[in-house]
Amino acid sequence: MPTASAPGKFILFGEHAVVYGKPAIALAIDLRTEVKAERSSSFKLDGKPMRENRSFYIREIIRRWKGGPVSMEIKAGVPPSSGLGSSAALTVSMLGALRSFNYPAERESIAREAFDVEYTVQGGASPTDTSTSTLGGAVYISEKKESNFRWEMCKNRRFWNVHSIDIPDMSFVVGVTGAHSSTKDMVDRVRRVVSRSPFGKDVIEDIGRIVVEGKRALENGDLVRIGELMKENHELLSLLGVSCEDIERLIRPIKDMVYGAKLTGAGGGGSVIALTDKPEKVREILEDRGECAYIVNIDKDGLIIK
C-alpha cells in the first residue's frame, strides 16, 4: 500500500509581482497531506465511491490515471482555502502514491504533472506551489537560471525556472483569517492599478527588488533583515489594494513581537505569516482574540513516499 505525503506552503516574498515576471520565494511548511492507495475492484475514496467526491483536483488526477481501480485514503493536514497550498499538497501526494504502484516516483516528473493538473483545473497557474510541495524547503522562482537550479517549467510560451535555496531553521506563526476571496479578482485588481499608473509599475518593481534582497537574507540566515523585508513587502501589497481589515486585524496585535508579518498569497483574506522566535506567545495572543493560528516550521523533506 503506497503512502505519500507532501507539505503545504506559503509565499514569503513576491506574490502578485510574479505575474509580471518578477521572482518569488515560497517556503514549504510542516503541515502535510497524506494519501494511502491500494488496488481495488472499484475507485473509492475514504471508503466511498470516487464519483461522489467533488474535488476537481482528484477528478482530474483520476481522469489521467491508467493503472486500474484504486482505493485511497486522504488525511488532509493543510487548511483549505487559506493560501497555504492545500491543493498542491493534495495533488503532489496523490500523484506520488499512484505512481509508486508502477515504478519509483521521480520528483521532477511528479512536479511537472502536478503543475499541469493545477493549471488545467484552475485555468492557469504557476508551478510555485507544486514545486515547493514536491521539493520542500525554500523555492525561488525566476525567469533566469541561477545557482541551485532544479528544473524549468513552460506553459503557453511562459517560462519559470525553479531553484532551491539553503535556509536556516525558522519558526512562523500562521494566522488564518477565515475570509476568502477570488484569486482572479485580486489579480485583476492589481492589474488595473499597474495598467493605469506609473505608481503601480513602481510598486511591482519594488516587490521584485525585495525578493532578490530576501533571497540574500535567507541564504545569510539574517532573521532581522528577513523580517524587515516582510514588513516592506506587506506595505507594498497594501498599496496595491490586496490587504483588508481581516488581514490587518491579525497583524496589529503581534507586530511588536515578531521580526515581521505580512499577508501571503493573493490577499483579500486567506492567511497572515509572522516570523518570530516567540511562536507560542504569538499564537496565544491570536487565539485569545478568537483567531485560528498555527505554529509552523520549515519542511525540508518535501514529497515523502513510503
127 shares a domain with 42? yes
- Rounded to 10°, the helix 183-196/198-220 angle is 120
29 shares a domain with 78? yes
**Burial group, residue 174, by CB count within 10 angstroms (0-12, 13-18, 19+):** buried
- Rounded CA separation 172/289 (Å): 18
Give the pLDDT of residue 124.
80
Give the pLDDT of residue 226.
97
Q: Where are the alpha helices (DSSP H) in the chain?
A: 56-64, 86-99, 107-122, 128-135, 183-196, 198-220, 223-239, 245-251, 279-288
Give the chain's domain count.
2
Contact assessment for residue 239 and residue 259, using Cβ atoms and an 8 Å cutoff? no
Structure confidence by residue, pLDDT tens digits, 39-96: 999 999 999 998 877 889 999 999 999 999 999 999 999 998 888 999 999 999 999 9
Q: Which of 139, 168, 197 is the last residue of a domain?
A: 168
Band of the pLDDT at 126, cuts 50, 70, 90? confident
Q: Is 182 part of a structural domain of the chain?
A: yes
Residues that are catalytic: 129
Q: Which of 152, 168, 184 is the last residue of a domain?
A: 168
164 shares a domain with 195? no
235 shares a domain with 126? no
- Rounded CA separation 231/189 (Å): 21
User: What is the pLDDT of the chain when averaged over all its residues?
Assistant: 94
Q: Is 237 part of a structural domain of the chain?
A: yes
206 shares a domain with 164? no
**pLDDT, mean of residues 158-179:** 94
235 shares a domain with 177? yes
190 shares a domain with 108? no
Q: Which of 168, 184, 203 is the last residue of a domain?
A: 168
- Does 19 score more than 90 pLDDT? no
Band of the pLDDT at 279, cuts 50, 70, 90? very high
- Does 187 score more than 90 pLDDT? no
Predicted TM-score (pTM) of this structure? 0.93
Give the pLDDT of residue 127.
93
Q: Is 100 part of a structural domain of the chain?
A: yes
Give the pLDDT of residue 50.
85
CATH for 98: 3.30.230.10
- Rounded CA separation 208/269 (Å): 22
CATH for 247: 3.30.70.890
Residue-number span of the structural domain to which 54 is assigned? 3-168
* Single-letter amino acid code for the residue at 44: K
